[in-house]
A and B are shown apart, each in its own frame.
Chain A
């Protein structure tokens, strides 16, 4: 790989040991994909929370930060385990508090902005069309490529952090126009999308991800005015069952105003798949991982809830309250929690028995201690959240629409599809 004078100096350690380690990572990584050079990036997002990092990962970060290593581009951080404002009420064990304090301290020292959010792109970390970026969370990465038209590979945390420190990334994969062309046409015309819930859209994503694997799908029948939560429903779920980094939604994705554009100018004979209602029904069966009716907890926020979603949940709950043996959590960012307070939503939801928790996501962090507190059966409106809560933490999970999850919270029993 060809390095500039400054990049070569970084590799030789002339800009400190942190920059040296970072450049070593990027060169080894670029070597795998025959990258010819490094290109500048404008935005970084890192993901690993404590269950992923473990004690050794925190030590690695602390070592990296030694000697004053700093990020050189705006870098945000995915959710963590708990909300520091609430740790007492959430009954978070001392050990986890200690670990999160250390993660806080080392990221602050590296210059990472402590957003603890996976909707960072709604709240400040907003790349522009064509920007090269390094986002280490598969859901937001596919969102950046497909909705914003920025360019990110499926980089892990080490690569993303190395990019944040050096300001560059090896040029390969999604950074190159020729690799962003569509490969599989996805038809949804046989589905009655008008009556579809966001959960149904996730079921589409679940099915399509399983079929396309790492190929780039091109959705040809989605209305241009599709609600953003439905688009996210497809995208975030596709990355669970497939290794997809970019999805062309014709008429929505900036690079795909037309079918021809999605394929880079020429439509070659390509694979075609058509999603049918029976695929949706089958997906529901695959996304739930339990058969127990009694539900311990209903959890929203994978990805973290936007203010609009929380308003919608509050509307559905008005005048009702959560069953005494069931908890209802809404996971969001600190910004949105603050907005909720300002809008009077926090109080309104609290009176219905709902807890709004900042800085965590519904798929991973809190499950470590929730499990220790006896929470076992969970209902969730996110396919991704259901899959990860089950596979990473052994939770028994139901998946359904927001309305079904709300009804479940009220009755204490699963009210959705079985």
Chain B
């Protein structure tokens, strides 16, 4: 298990299976609130559901109405349960805060390299760190 320092955007602790994208995500038009599926054509997560996962991606993009879309997905049980961003952006941060979703960004090491889809990940946004199961410290690079 390795632990990486991070800056908290919201509070809370959550753990689960990671799903990792190398591309920015727009919640408006890019994620179906009825399924949690990424539906942006040519996105690296196209057709994959982020529901109940720890969603790891670079940053947000797109319409500021994305926070309404994320909130609807959350109420329908289809939102990710934790968010790790390289650098947080307004729409994603607001989505996390209105749904009490634990969220961190600005990690000491690049989460897009360290975390693979399927890894078991813990976000502790109260104390500001992320833990990845089954990895050793020398993988931090």
Contacts and interface: CB of A to CB of B under 8 A. Distances in A.
A32 to B, nearest CB: 4
Given A28-B93, A31-B9, A159-B94, A57 B64 contact: no
A179 to B, nearest CB: 15
Contacts of A158: 67, 94, 98
Nearest to A55: B72
A32 B90 contact: yes
B79 to A, nearest CB: 11
Contacts of A154: 64
Contacts of B68: 48, 52-54, 56-57, 157
Contacts, number: 72
A370 interface: no
A20 B91 CA distance: 19
Interface in A22-50: 24-25, 28-29, 31-33, 47-48
Contacts of B89: 32
Interface residues of A, number: 27
Secondary structure call for the A interface: helix
B41 to A, nearest CB: 13
A391 B29 CA distance: 9
A175 to B, nearest CB: 13
B109 interface: no
Contact of A33 (B29, B65, B76, B90): B90
29 contacts: A24-B97, A25-B94, A25-B97, A28-B9, A28-B93, A28-B94, A28-B96, A29-B90, A29-B93, A29-B97, A31-B9, A31-B93, A52-B68, A54-B68, A56-B68, A56-B71, A56-B72, A56-B75, A57-B68, A59-B75, A136-B64, A138-B64, A154-B64, A156-B65, A156-B66, A156-B90, A156-B94, A157-B65, A158-B98
Given A56-B72, A159-B94, 9 more contacts: A25-B97, A28-B94, A28-B96, A29-B93, A31-B9, A32-B89, A47-B65, A53-B68, A154-B64
